[in-house]
Homo-oligomer: A and B are copies of this chain.
């Protein structure tokens, strides 16, 4: 980056807001994937106005930009593959307002999601989306990727909580869209268009988010199934009975075995699936009735054992198996690659069996867990990246996972996004017309292709 551009950026954000040394740049080049590409410069604005000035400059000088929160993405959407300038929102981390009457909050994009949750919960309010990166990912990143999480079955995904956005467009103009109103049908739903657009249409700088009442009570049950089909039917039976659990998590036999082998919790090794079910709400009696009804449905659908936690300690112990999956995987193999394909709920058994067939074909374990209520599965391939032939296999396996999801009427991603990694599969997933329409929208809003090059769309 030439000196005069650096000087102009320093004038906008101050000297400490522009990083150029190799040591500084090194920490802005990777995310939660295996990708790592150093940016040529990092700029850390403190306000929407500063972002606007940076993008005006970038437009004028035709400087490509990659926007980044805390870099916890799982599709390399925030990795500067071509050494672009990285714009980091982490200094824009103020909670500007929590409106308890209208149950909403106005935040800057760099607020860490768990920090926001803690702040609103103190006031009896609740921000439900709970991606597993919650302790270090930002609201801006969550919105850019339309992040999910286990609670999304009941409460909806990040996009369902976006009432309004402040964005900076590719030409530097500031766009404010949305308002405090939950119902708003004035013009196109721009906030929905920008949510999940992975930094390719604008830079999200502030968000107005809807909150709900904090649920005061939660109850948990763990059900063991000898048959995956029965577990899957149970998921549908629970939902069709009108019970919408706050979590409805599935672990397949490989996940159970993996946790048990590593942690010796006494989990059964002869099940095909475990369901972890949680209900929550503002009335203890109601929450209790719901978990009992869900447990009954499990038994009626072939669960060989169902445990309902009677107190907080038992509840924590039921959750331990699910929470232990990630650490157990880390002990079992040097590396894992977790995908997040989504299929219609009815196709879960076929998806799990198809994933096992892929695992058998390539001789690498795939551990499967996920959010059964919305058909969102996280197959994790275990491998050793130091072995080049294993990495080659992993890449082929991922391609087969995607093909399987599409063949079952599902899609490539329920939570992680397309980023750089899934773009070779985009057209296969969406078809040529949808891909072309999306490219037209991209071109209409970012005609000089400044924002997040090489993401989402195949070249």
Contacts and interface: CB of A to CB of B under 8 A. Distances in A.
Contacts of A286: 283, 286, 289-290
B176 A433 contact: yes
A246 to B, nearest CB: 13
A265 interface: no
Contact of A440 (B422, B434, B445): B445
B181 A375 contact: yes
B438 A188 contact: yes
Contacts of A212: 242
Given A435-B187, A444-B444, A411 B456 contact: no
Interface residues on A, range: 35 or more
A420 B411 CA distance: 38
A36 B130 CA distance: 50
A140 interface: no
A40 to B, nearest CB: 28
Contacts of A184: 342, 411, 413-414
A102 interface: yes
A278 interface: no
Interface string A415-447: 111100010001001110111011011011100
Interface string A240-255: 1111000000000000
A174 interface: yes
A294 to B, nearest CB: 11
A191 to B, nearest CB: 9
Contact of A180 (B146, B289, B409, B444): B409
Interface string A264-294: 0000000000000000011101100110010
Interface in A115-159: 124-125, 145-146, 148, 152, 157, 159
Contacts of A157: 183
A239 B243 CA distance: 20
B196 A416 contact: no
A146 B185 contact: yes
A410 interface: yes
A418 B187 CA distance: 7
B186 A124 contact: no
A418 B192 contact: no
A367 interface: no
Contacts of A101: 236, 345-346
A187 B426 contact: yes
22 contacts: A99-B344, A100-B240, A101-B345, A102-B236, A103-B236, A148-B183, A181-B375, A182-B374, A183-B342, A183-B414, A183-B415, A185-B416, A185-B417, A186-B417, A186-B426, A188-B193, A188-B196, A193-B193, A213-B241, A283-B286, A440-B444, A443-B444
